Amino acid sequence: MVYTQKTPWTLVMGIIMVAYAYMVQNGMMEPVIKFLNTGRHAGEMQTLGFAFGAVAILVGLWQVLAAPKEGQTDYYLSTVAGLMFIMLIAFIVKWGLDPLMAKWGREAQPALGFNFASVMNLNYVVMGILAGIIIVNVFKVPGWAENGVRLSRLGLKTGVILLGTLYSFAELAQLGKLSIVLIGVFVLGSVGLVLWIGARRKLPNSMTGVMSAGIGVCGVSASVAAAPVVQAKSTEIAYTIGTVLLFGVVCMFAFPIIGKALGMGYVQFGAWAGTGILNSAQVAGAALAFQPGGIETLKVAEIFNITRVLFLPIIVLWLALWYVKREVGAQQVDVTRVIVSKFPVFVLGFILMFLLSSTGIFAPARHYQGAYFDNSDKALVKKDRSGKEVNNYLKEADVETLKKDAEKVKRDDQKAALQRLIENKKVMSEDDDATLRGIINAKLMSKEGTAVLNKAHRAIRHTAAKIAMFRDLIAWFFTFGLVGLGMQITVASIKQAGGQPLVIGSIVGVIKAVGSLIVVMLMVSETV
Amino acid sequence: MMHEDKFDRGSALTIFKSDRHEDLAALGLSLLIALLVYLLV
């Protein structure tokens, strides 16, 4: 079978992308960029527009002019049209709809009394997923784009692996401890609860078993991994996937709104989403929807998600023993083989990337969250885009402010660090930086004094260029994956839930979501 | 049937033969990106 379809749309999309990038480069889009306040995206508009546009034009020409033969080249190149389709939607949503909604939200606030864009969480992540859902359920995904849509999970997995570059040992150690406790309690608890309710409602053991893995561990992948050990039928897997999907979609949209209403911080929300939402992709969706402008929430949520995936072997083993005990004459399954063959390798990829990053090849080895210490002249005196020199040493007025507040500082080490800052007009060491941060956190100084200390801190902390690049790439991989994910959420697949599985899934899902919310609010602070 | 034997065309969710293949593709792509970032940025 030949998969490449003779469509002009790949070529058309490529021309649109290149033309847009060209217009941004030549300033023709300046009024629109100013109107939407998207100047900070101008660089990526050009880079991504030219790069994706060029590929789309080349493949589009090949699709129109060549006569592809059956084979791998035809099959894999047939995904490019759908890939471009998703990227085009992502561009429109991220550079157009997102800033437009933000602008309208702000402008309508005096009349409405609230910012509707913020309250309804109308950012590019939510709108991207919604766009996908609307396209697939109202208009249908065009035939030439279908193969590309099946790349969305690859995008999400690549995003998770690359995320490994952004963690430091300190962060991972702190988050890891927290996640093992929380995930341990809620994964094992919800698996046990599904098994108990399933037995009371007299559901088939195979149905209950596969459902417990889906609701307890990580949604769709866990259901598929657990299916062989409980000898689940394909309809039972479909019921579970339908339930997980329906519950996950509701959570994906509801969690960020609840999180904002409760005033949760990044760590708290990431911990809650990573524990309470059933499916991996929807954890990423909720985390990015909560904090669309940054990646901190996603980092926390993914640690919890990965910890949950690491529980998969334990759950598979538990279910195997549980099933054999309950089903007389059940065929013994080679559990080790199932675990080895179904274990998600991308989690090991994440760990590999973290280890690679820990060697210091992407950022100075002592970086924390991608930022490193440098107080040399070269780092403090820079040139801005227009070539004007920007001096980040403290000014005389700043020094005077610090001198006025100096007497409020009593501890000897803090006094000494502050004195060195005043004398040199810059933070002198990493230890001094930590000590001065202590003064800020303890709120010892006036508002003006604290502002000066923050300014001094920012001057010597620099984000590594490679880490910044990884952050941008990761955000785009997730955006691509989530728009594509939206295109896979069909009414038909959700309808598969129905009946008893939906009732049990909803009961346990709600208990898990509410229970983890309470625990996170009580036990998790914002100090990672 | 000939086509089914010759090529495996994945499922409704992925173009890859199995989850393992998809994971390995994601790993390969990530390593390639990491190399490019290391060399070019």
CB contact under 8 A, B14 and A473: no
Output DSSP code: residue B18: S
Burial (Cβ within 10 Å: 0-12, 13-18, ≥19) of residue A524: buried
Distance from CA of A96 to the nearest CA of B (A): 27
| pLDDT value of position A528 | 47
Closest by CA position to A131, among listed A480, A475, A495, A472: A480
CB contact under 8 A, A162 and B34: yes
Residue A138 has pLDDT above 70, yes or no: yes
| pLDDT value of position A373 | 86
CB contact under 8 A, A154 and B33: no
pTM: 0.82
Q: Please report the sign of the dihedral spanned by the C-alpha atoms of residue A34, residue A38, residue A44, residue A48.
A: negative
| pLDDT value of position A331 | 67
Over range A304-315, report the average pLDDT.
86
Residues of B in contact with A79 (CB under 8 A): 15
pLDDT digit string (tens) for A40-65? Answer: 899 999 999 999 999 999 999 999 89
Write the residue in A150, A161, A346 that is nearest to B13 by C-beta: A150
Residue A335 has pLDDT above 90, yes or no: no
DSSP per residue over A140-164, as a string? ---GGGHHHHTTHHHHHHHHHHHHG
What is the residue whose two structure tokens read 């009024």? A31
Residue A108 has pLDDT above 60, yes or no: yes
CB contact under 8 A, B9 and A488: no
Residue of A nearest to B11 (CA): A150
Between CA A445 and CA A100 the distance in angstroms is 40
| pLDDT value of position B1 | 39
Asked if A244 and A213 touch (Cβ cutoff 8 Å), the reply is: no
Other Cβ atoms less than 10 A from the Cβ of A248: the count is: 23
Tokens, residue A62:
């090949």
φ, ψ for residue A390 (rounded to 5)? -120, 115
Q: What HEC string does A460-526 produce?
A: HEEECHHHHHHHHHHHHHHHHHHHHHHCCCCHHHHHCCCHHHHHHHHHHHHHHHHHHHHHHHHHCCC
Residue A254 has pLDDT above 90, yes or no: yes
φ, ψ for residue A479 (rounded to 5)? -60, -45
Between CA A102 and CA A441 the distance in angstroms is 32
Contacts 24+ apart (CB under 8 A), B15-24: B15/A75, B15/A76, B15/A79, B15/A147, B15/A150, B15/A151, B15/A154, B16/A154, B19/A221, B19/A224, B19/A342, B19/A344, B20/A341, B20/A345, B22/A153, B22/A154, B22/A157, B23/A157, B23/A344, B23/A345, B23/A346, B23/A349, B24/A345
Asked if A436 and A422 touch (Cβ cutoff 8 Å), the reply is: no
Residue A176 has pLDDT above 90, yes or no: no
Assign A126 a pLDDT band (cuts: 50, 70, 90): confident
| pLDDT value of position B4 | 47
Distance of CA A73 to the CA centre of its chain: 32
Q: Which helix (H) or strand (E) holds A383?
A: strand A381-383
Asked if A407 and A439 touch (Cβ cutoff 8 Å), the reply is: no
Distance from CA of A7 to the nearest CA of B (A): 20
Between CA A84 and CA A14 the distance in angstroms is 8
Q: Please report the sign of the dihedral spanned by the C-alpha atoms of residue A218, residue A476, residue A35, residue A53.
A: negative
Residues of B in contact with A76 (CB under 8 A): 15
Torsion-angle region of residue B6: left (phi > 0), alpha (psi -120 to 50) or beta?
alpha
Other Cβ atoms less than 10 A from the Cβ of A173: the count is: 12
CB contact under 8 A, A75 and B41: no
Interface of B with A (CB under 8 A): 3, 7, 9-10, 12-16, 19-20, 22-27, 29-30, 33-34, 37-38, 41
Closest by CA position to A74, among listed A160, A6, A154: A6
Beta-carbon-side half-sphere exposure of residue A456 (alpha carbons within 13 Å)? 33
Beta-carbon-side half-sphere exposure of residue A436 (alpha carbons within 13 Å)? 28
Report the range of poorest mean pLDDT among A332-341, A417-426, A461-470, A517-526.
Answer: A332-341
Q: How many residues does chain A have?
A: 528
CB contact under 8 A, A361 and B38: yes
Residues of B in contact with A465 (CB under 8 A): 41
Distance from CA of B2 to the nearest CA of A (A): 10
Over range A350-368, report the average pLDDT.
82
Closest by CA position to A398, among listed A442, A449, A438: A449
Over range A461-468, report the average pLDDT.
86
What is the residue whose two structure tokens read 């599904």? A194
Over range A382-393, report the average pLDDT.
80
Torsion-angle region of residue A113: left (phi > 0), alpha (psi -120 to 50) or beta?
left
Over range A169-177, report the average pLDDT.
80
Residue of A nearest to B22 (CA): A154
pLDDT digit string (tens) for A217-252? Answer: 877 778 888 888 888 887 888 888 888 888 888 899
CB contact under 8 A, A466 and B3: no
CB contact under 8 A, B30 and A161: yes
Beta-carbon-side half-sphere exposure of residue B23 (alpha carbons within 13 Å)? 14
What's chain A's average pLDDT?
A: 88
Closest by CA position to A130, among listed A276, A284, A289: A289
Assign A31 a pLDDT band (cuts: 50, 70, 90): very high
Interface of A with B (CB under 8 A): 1, 70-72, 75-76, 79, 147, 150-151, 153-154, 157-158, 160-162, 165, 220-221, 224, 341-342, 344-346, 348-349, 352-353, 356, 361-362, 465-466, 469-470, 473, 488
Residues of B in contact with A154 (CB under 8 A): 14-16, 22, 25-26, 29
Residue of B nearest to A474 (CA): B30
CB contact under 8 A, A157 and B26: yes
